[in-house]
Amino acid sequence: MKKGGGKNKGGSFERLISKKLSEWYSDGKRDDLFYRTQSSGGRFTIRNKQGKITEGQDGDIGSSSHESILFSSIFSIECKHYKELSLWSFVTGAKTGLTSFWEQTCNQARASSKIPILIARENYKPILFITDKIFAGKLLLEFMLRYRLSVHTFSELQDMHIYDFERDILSLDVKIFKTMLKKVN
């Protein structure tokens, strides 16, 4: 592997997710509503450790347009693309792979008073959309009932709900979703 290959892979994945979220959130009209945050959230993390606030820079992806500010003010999005996500870490309790990524996502979301979203992919597997019971309860309940979303909760101890990003999330009616966001905000 070339030096920096993992960072290139992560950056490419963040750009892909930014584009997919933008196209969905704009109902197919734009591909630039979301983009990578400065240093993929690194600036927020460093300044947060120093007790400083860095608004809008938490997570890997943030708003790059006034049209997506509401979404980014509610959610903190982390992206991970790895060869293996170590899904078995939930069963074994090991603090590796997806378990450690989820913990990082929740810590960053708490620090910014937002709802955590982890968008993760293992090589050659579907993209996962992982969130907590707040998101699942407040925003997705209506969609689950209306569209019969498949819900895959791996562990209540981890307080996470796992969805197929493209099949379950990007197929949601964005107009209804935005209305629900306004109610939550």
Cα–Cα distance between 156 and 12 in angstroms, integer? 31
Q: How many domains does the chain have?
A: 1
Q: pLDDT tens-digit profile of 172-185?
A: 889 988 988 887 77
Give the list of residues 6+ apart from residue 106 with CB closer than 8 angstroms, or none.
116, 132
Count the helices and strands in the chain (H runs, E runs). 8, 7
Whole-number mean pLDDT of the chain? Answer: 79
CA distance 21 to 29: 12
Position 138 scores a pLDDT of 66
State which residues form the domain around 103.
5-184
Q: What is the CA radius of gyration of the chain?
A: 16
Instruction: Give the pLDDT confidence score for residue 12 in this predicted structure.
Output: 92
Q: What is the pLDDT of residues 72-95, one digit of tens each?
A: 999 999 999 999 888 777 677 777
Question: Shortest CA distance to 112 belongs to which of 161, 73, 78?
Answer: 73
Query: Rounded to a whole number, what is the distance in angstroms from the first to the last CA of the chain?
Result: 44
| Prediction pTM value | 0.80
